[in-house]
Amino acid sequence: MLSGPLNLSRFRNGIATPFFLEIDKKNLAITANLVELFENSVERKRFEIDDEIKSFYTEKINPKVIQGMAKILFKRGDFSDFGNDDPATVRKNLFSVSAHYWKQKAKSGTALDDHKQSVLISAGIEQKQAYDETDSWLFGDISNNQKLIAFKPIQAEKLIHRFNIEQVQGLLLHCENLELNLTMKKEKAFRQVMQMLKFYQLMFEVVEAGENQITLKIDGPASILENAKTYGMEIANFFPAILLLDSSWQLTAKLKIPRRHRKFKLELSDQHAYKTFYRKTGIWNHEKVLNLIDRVNEKYVDQLVAETGNLLIPLSGNRYLIPDIILKDKEGQKTLQVEWFHYMSETRIKQIGRIAGELPENYLIAIKGKKSHLKKLVNRLGNQLLVFSKDLTAPALFKRFDSL
């Protein structure tokens, strides 16, 4: 995401306005040339590409726009690594051997290349490798020395769209909270946005709901008890997913920008000209959830069937349960619905406590944390709460299912 000096947003009168690069003939031409530079730079080192990028700094476009798009393009490249040997360790060994050689073994009158060969032999380094790829094996941990070995091309127009979205994402990294208002003509839109929220592990509540409209309030990183930076990335990643919705929407976010004394408001809607780079798959299941389902099905193949949850269970007060995993026995007589919370805040703890009396008997809430910090929930939920310290495991789920 484009943040810091590469985020070109304006801040005036309490309003944050994301920088938006127009898709016109001039910008498309510059962007296409920049993409072509990367396509033609395979086998070149990063610092060489950086030098070429500077030639795009003209009065026709802000240099920071070029730097931002170049950052996106660099992420689309695969760069050479330094193999199995850590260059820092190799350097330390080589310099130590070299110092010892010059102090104890070097003889006057010996050609410099002969000295070099002797040092390399003493350090156990092949001479050919040393002469051909010095930067790679000796300074390969310095990113500027790494070679671009593959690049995934992108159309100029799509790169501009991505650049514009990343300007918004750079702001949302500093979101204190946001409200998302949806006009829903179909239940499908509601279900889709709920699945998105679960996919990005966002903490939310429904603050208002009508027949065709709903307002969701989503907590920002400041409310998270731990891993706030990671959670901020999840909120930023949520924005391109909103653009997949067929229904109309309005987003209002409160921002606390570093090194700015006042807070700002960001307002966006489906009327803006953003185009997402996400594909419309209709399937929103987090990788962690899918991996856990696979582990359960592999380990307990003769006893259980685990599958992704696709339910919305309404509760009182515009609250909903959205299970991540459904566990069933082979005979279909027992079912366990599991909701897995990856992030926790004081607000979320209170929300869970308020719905404790409405949970279905076969509903399990899994939370990462310490029981000593979740005493109230432990007392309220009893066997319907599973607290784990590091990661949710297949045996832990099986044990709880077996106790039903």
Q: The domain 287-402 is classified under which CATH number: 1.10.3470, 3.40.1350, 3.40.1620, 3.40.50?
A: 3.40.1350
Highest mean pLDDT among 195-199, 283-287, 363-367, 369-373: 363-367
Lowest mean pLDDT among 85-89, 134-138, 266-270, 275-279: 134-138
Query: How many angstroms separate the CA atoms of 354 and 236, rounded?
Result: 29
Backbone angles phi, psi at 250, to 5 degrees: -135, 135
80 DSSP assignment:
-
Q: Give the mean model confidence (pLDDT) for residues 197-222.
A: 83
CATH class of 173-284: alpha beta
Q: Which tokens go with 275?
A: 């185009």
Q: Give the mean model confidence (pLDDT) for residues 369-388.
A: 88
pLDDT at 81: 66
CB 196 within 8 A of CB 312: no
Could you give the C-alpha distances from 153 to 22, 150, 237, in angstroms and in order? Answer: 21, 10, 22
Which residues does residue 126 pair with via DSSP β-bridges, in sequence order? none
Query: How many angstroms separate the CA atoms of 221 and 174, rounded?
Result: 8
Mean pLDDT rounded to a whole number for the chain: 85
Query: What pairing do the DSSP bridges indicate for beta strands 175-183 and 249-255?
Result: antiparallel
The percentage of the chain sitting over the pLDDT mark of 90, rounded to a whole number, equals 43
> Which pLDDT band, with edges at 50, 70 and 90, does 314 fall under?
confident
Domain ranges of the chain: 87-145, 173-284, 287-402
- Work out the angle at residue 302's Cα, subtended by the Cα atoms of residues 297 and 304, and round it to the nearest 5 degrees: 50
Q: Is pLDDT above 60 for 45?
A: yes
Query: How many angstroms separate the CA atoms of 14 and 265, rounded?
Result: 6
Q: Which residue in 355, 385, 387, 383 sits closest to 373, CA to CA?
A: 387
Lowest mean pLDDT among 90-104, 159-173, 243-257, 284-298: 90-104
CB 387 within 8 A of CB 341: no
Lowest mean pLDDT among 83-87, 243-247, 260-264, 346-350: 83-87
pLDDT at 128: 47
- Full-model pTM: 0.76
Q: Which residue in 73, 77, 196, 87 sits closest to 140, CA to CA?
A: 87
Q: Which tokens go with 135?
A: 């930067």
Lowest mean pLDDT among 203-217, 284-298, 353-367, 381-395: 203-217
> Which pLDDT band, with edges at 50, 70 and 90, does 85 fall under?
low
Tell me whether domains 173-284 and 287-402 share a fold. Answer: no
3-state secondary structure of 301: coil
Radius of gyration of the chain (CA): 27
